[in-house]
Amino acid sequence: MSDAAGEGGRLLDAGRFAEALPLLREAHERSPGRGSGHRLGYCYLALGDLESAERVLRAEVDAHPDLVDARNALGVALINQGRGEDALAVFLEAARLAPQSAEANNNAGNVLSDLGRTEEAIPYLEKAIAAQPDLADAHHNLGMIYQSLKRHEEAAASLERALALAPEASYTLSYLVGSELALCRWERIEPRIAALREQVRSRGIPAAPFIYVAVSPSPEEQRRCAELHVRERFPAAPAPMAQGTRYSHERIRVAYLSADFHEHATAQLAAGLFERHDRDKFEVFGVSYGADDGSPMRRRLAAAFDRFIDVRREGDAAVAAMLRNWEIDIAVDLKGHTTDARFGILAHRPAPVQASWLGFPGTSGAPFIDYVIADRVVLPAAEQRFYSEKVVTLPDCYQVNDSTRRVGTGVTRAAAGLPARDFVFCCFNNSYKITPEMFGLWMRLLQFGPGSMLWLLEDSPAASANLRRAAQARGVAPERIVFAPRMANAEHLARHRLADLFLDTLPYNAHTTGSDALWAGLPLLTCAGSSFAGRVAESLLRAVGLPELVTRSLTEYEALALKLAQAPALAAELRTKLERNRATAPLFDTDRFRRHLEAAYTTMWQRAQRGEAPAGFSVEP
């Protein structure tokens, strides 16, 4: 081994990648022997130079087909470019060549999961664990697959094992907390949430931002979590494709990027907006990297855009190049840090202006996102310092609504399993938003009002059983909780009318579920929180003219809920007021919202055209 190779290898092993690179490159160019390309490719990979890593590692694999470690590294270079199908082929070949390789099987299972082929992934991860039982990453990945399948009990078991093997590993504790919240399994949830917040706050361990906004009421902590995640995901920023670019189009070109252009909450909210954009001023693109479910909503969305493109099989860089070639003026990410997000596309900076909106209730923490679109309730001026983006403040509510959504008919309390006359409290938020504190408050409401029921959405049999046990432990008969199965949207909206009051959650409010309730005519009671995720319901209520249903403490929330349950006439007055406001209030005025959003886009575009840096601003009503 040459001196350059030896010293480069030593620096590589020490994690001093920038120092190792020139030495490894020199050694490989002088004597490209077996393994030298793997070491050089791995160094490029560690430095975030994915294209160079792919080039060197592919040559190494071609020269030495049996070198499984090089194949694994090549697959990682491909997956980090968002090229899942290409990476899968590499990992499957590695697993075929070395069936006992824990790394190859783990990688293959992980990519199959990312591609939505979760059932196929499980045997590969089980092989990885059988080959190396202490491989924490394989236990973590198996837990993530079970979580995506909503098999949260198995997910929690796998994640607990991963955490025991690697207590300081990125993300594991946050996903474990996510599964335990989904199960409403609260025995250890408070110390685990405290430990998670400590990991992020003090030790800089990356966590899942979407789970973190559900457990931390601190926007400062949420920003730190998002920034840690972005740094972990994108250690070296790709060269920007659009740098100081200015286009001269007759219409501003706006591209919306999402995995949710099918039957999904985001689509239900925004479909009407996409259809109504002013085509004299805007050309609108839909860039879809999620499933095509063949639904009427999918067909509606495909027709709503000037151009609708399915990019599921394209890598991040390739999609970014498409946006650049189409000369997109403004790219709008609708996912943030939620499931199936592909921030890697915008990391390439394909558009002169890039914004985050609607999908994620917090900061992206990403240096390549210029703006976040919000309103003065969810993101007040005093908290803008906790956002990496410049803040665009809309005048009514940041959340769009589709004023054409159909509400079904013909639902009855008897068919829903509800009593004919009792007061029905309702919460159709996902079970992970229900905290022990909120549930305890709800149980006190049932104790004070013996003729009342609580109606919840059924997320899973395990969560329902745990909630019934929690009710009994708090002195409430389990049968006083009724669970609603999931159903088609129009019928789901219709059944809201069977309830008397929607009880919101904290620290993570009702978002789309809040709009569902109000659109269906069901008053919603909320307690304002201390972050974006905890103030959405207040924003909705103010935009529909019901600020009297916003409380400032859980004590006030509990008192008002009890008052409404004991005074049905007052609850009926609120329902009448909501019905009257629905037709005229800003919340459900899609055209009004469209005009405000288009004004925001125009201001962003004008600043970019003048060569000015992004800056926060408010849109006038």
Q: What is the pLDDT of residue 138?
A: 97
Q: What is the pLDDT of residue 419?
A: 93
Q: What is the pLDDT of residue 282?
A: 98
Query: β-pairing, 307-310 with 330-333?
Result: unpaired
The tens digit of pLDDT for each residue in 48-95 reads: 899 999 999 999 999 999 999 999 999 999 998 888 899 999 999 999
In degrees and rounded to multiples of 5, residue 507 shows phi and psi of -85, 0
User: Taking 80 as the threshold, does the pLDDT of residue 580 lie above it?
Assistant: yes
SS3 616: coil
What percentage of the chain has pLDDT greater than the value 90?
89
Q: Where are the alpha helices (DSSP H) in 454-549?
A: 461-473, 489-495, 512-520, 536-543
Which residues lie closer than 8 Å to 552 by C-beta, 6 or more apart?
A: 527, 528
The token pair at 366 is: 């990403």
The token pair at 16 is: 């001093």
- Domains by residue range for the chain, with CATH: 252-403+595-618 (3.40.50.11380), 413-588 (3.40.50.2000)
The token pair at 519 is: 């659109």
* Residue 412 CB neighbours (<10 A): 10
User: Taking 80 as the threshold, does the pLDDT of residue 382 lie above it?
Assistant: yes
Chain centroid to CA 610: 33
Partners of 482 in beta bridges:
455
Instruction: Name the pLDDT band for 295 (thresholds 50, 70, 90).
Output: very high
**202 neighbors 164 (Cβ within 8 angstroms):** no
**What is the C-alpha to C-alpha distance for residues 564 and 22, in angstroms, rounded to an integer?**
72
Q: What is the pLDDT of residue 410?
A: 87
User: Taking 90 as the threshold, does the pLDDT of residue 164 lie above it?
Assistant: yes
H-helix or E-strand spanning residue 423: strand 423-427
HEC string of 172-203?
HHHHHHHHHHHHCCCCCHHHHHHHHHHHHHHH
| Listed ranges 13-17, 19-23, 240-244, 475-479; the one with the highest mean pLDDT | 475-479
Nearest to 582 by CA among 496, 520, 535: 520
SS3 373: strand
Query: Residue for token digits 């890593």?
Result: 53
Average pLDDT estimate for 486-512? 97
H-helix or E-strand spanning residue 145: helix 136-148
- End-to-end alpha carbon distance in the chain: 71
Query: Residue for token digits 């789970």?
Result: 211
**What is the C-alpha to C-alpha distance for residues 10 and 354, in angstroms, rounded to an integer?**
41
Average pLDDT estimate for 33-41? 87
Instruction: Name the pLDDT band for 366 (thresholds 50, 70, 90).
Output: very high
User: Taking 60 as the threshold, does the pLDDT of residue 47 lie above it?
Assistant: yes
Q: Which residues of 458-467 are buried (b: 16+ CB within 10 A; e: fewer)?
A: ebbebbbebb
Higher per-residue pLDDT: 37 or 469: 469
Instruction: Name the pLDDT band for 558 (thresholds 50, 70, 90).
Output: very high
Average pLDDT estimate for 17-37? 87
Instruction: Name the pLDDT band for 4 (thresholds 50, 70, 90).
Output: confident
Instruction: Name the pLDDT band for 451 (thresholds 50, 70, 90).
Output: confident
User: Taking 60 as the threshold, does the pLDDT of residue 96 lie above it?
Assistant: yes
DSSP for 283-341, written as a single string: EEEEEE-S-----HHHHHHHHHSSEEEE-TTS-HHHHHHHHHHTT-SEEEES-TTSTT-
The pTM of the full predicted model, rounded to 2 decimals, is 0.92
User: Taking 70 as the threshold, does the pLDDT of residue 2 lie above it?
Assistant: no
Query: Residue for token digits 């972050």?
Result: 531
User: Taking 60 as the threshold, does the pLDDT of residue 352 lie above it?
Assistant: yes
The tens digit of pLDDT for each residue in 207-239 reads: 999 999 999 999 999 999 999 999 999 887 888
Q: What is the pLDDT of residue 288?
A: 98
Which residues lie closer than 8 Å to 164 by C-beta, 6 or more apart?
A: none
H-helix or E-strand spanning residue 390: strand 390-394
User: Taking 80 as the threshold, does the pLDDT of residue 1 lie above it?
Assistant: no
Q: Where are the alpha helices (DSSP H) in 417-553?
A: 436-448, 461-473, 489-495, 512-520, 536-543
Angle of helix 68-79 relative to helix 36-46, nearest 10 degrees? 20
For the chain, the average pLDDT equals 95
